[in-house]
Chain A
C-alpha cells in the first residue's frame, strides 16, 4: 500500500507527475506478479487519473479498460464504478463532455449502493467539474456541494480544498481569502502554524475570546471547518 499511498497523496495535491512515478512502479510490480483481482489493486484508478493528468491518454485508456473488464468478469462493482469515473475524466479530457457525464453518472449510481463514501465524493467532484465545463452551473454546484459535505464529514481536507477551488470556478470568484481583515489574517496564519488560541492571544496581545471570534469569522468566510482545513487552504493559496 506504500506506493499507492504515496501516489494517492501526490494526486490529491494536484501533482500527477510524482503520483505517476509511484503508481507506475506499483502498476509494473502488479503486472509482473500477474495480479488479476482489481480489488487487490486499489491504486489503479489513481494511476489512470495520474496518466490523464500528464496527458498519457492512450495508456490511461488501456488501464481503465483492463480494470473495467476485470471488474465486470469478477462482478466487482467498486472496480466498475472506479473505472467509470476514470473513463469520464478521460472523455472529458478529449472534449466529449456528454459521454463523460454519462460515464460519471453511471459510476455514481453504482457508488450510491456501496459503502465507499470517499470514492463517491471523488466521483461527485468529477461530476461537478465536468458539468462546470459543460456550462451547467447549477447542477455543477449541486454535485460539488454534496462532494464538499462528504469530504468534510470524512475529514479529508485536501479533497475538500479541491472542491472549494472548483466551486470558486463555478461562481466565477476565487475563494475569499482576500476578504479577511488584517487581524483575521494574522490569527489564521498563527492558527495554521499550530499555535493554540491561548498562544495566539499571547502573541498578538488579544483576548482568547477575540482570537476565537477572528477564527470563526475567518472559517465562515473561507468555508472551512477546522485548523487542518485551514492549514491546507493556506498551503494551496500561498
Chain B
C-alpha cells in the first residue's frame, strides 16, 4: 500500500464529507505505519484523524489523537503547530476557555514557519 496515496485519498474523502471512509483508511495507514516504524506517516495519519474527529464533533477523541501526534512530533523534532491548533479547537468546543486560549497562543508561537498551521 502506497501510504502517501492513501493519505491523499483520505484527505479527498474528508473534504467530500465521507468521514467514515476517510477514518477507516486513515486507521489502516496508522496501523501499517506503526508496523513499519514509519513515524512521519503515523503522525500524518494522526493529524488527519484528529481533523476528521473535529468535523464529527468528537472533541475528546480529537484531543487524544492530537496529543498522541504532538508527542510524536516531539520525538521527530518537527513543529507541532497543527496539533496545538486541533487541541485548541477541541478545547474551545468543550468550553475549556483558558486551555483553548493557551493552546492556540502556543500554537501560534510554534507555527511561525508554517503558515498552514497558523490558519
Contacts and interface: CB of A to CB of B under 8 A. Distances in A.
Interface of B is mostly: helix
B119 A1 contact: yes
B85 A9 contact: no
B92 A9 contact: yes
Interface string B3-37: 00000000000110101100000000000000000
Nearest to A4: B119
Interface residues of A, number: 37
Interface residues of B, number: 35
Nearest to B94: A155
B3 to A, nearest CB: 21
Contacts of B86: 1
Give the secondary structure class of A's interface.
helix
B98 to A, nearest CB: 10
A229 B95 contact: yes
Interface string B92-118: 111111001101110110010001011
B89 A5 contact: yes
A37 B96 CA distance: 30
A9 B104 CA distance: 10
Interface of A: 1-6, 8-9, 12-13, 26, 29-30, 33, 37, 39, 41, 43, 76-78, 114-118, 154-159, 228-229, 231-232, 235
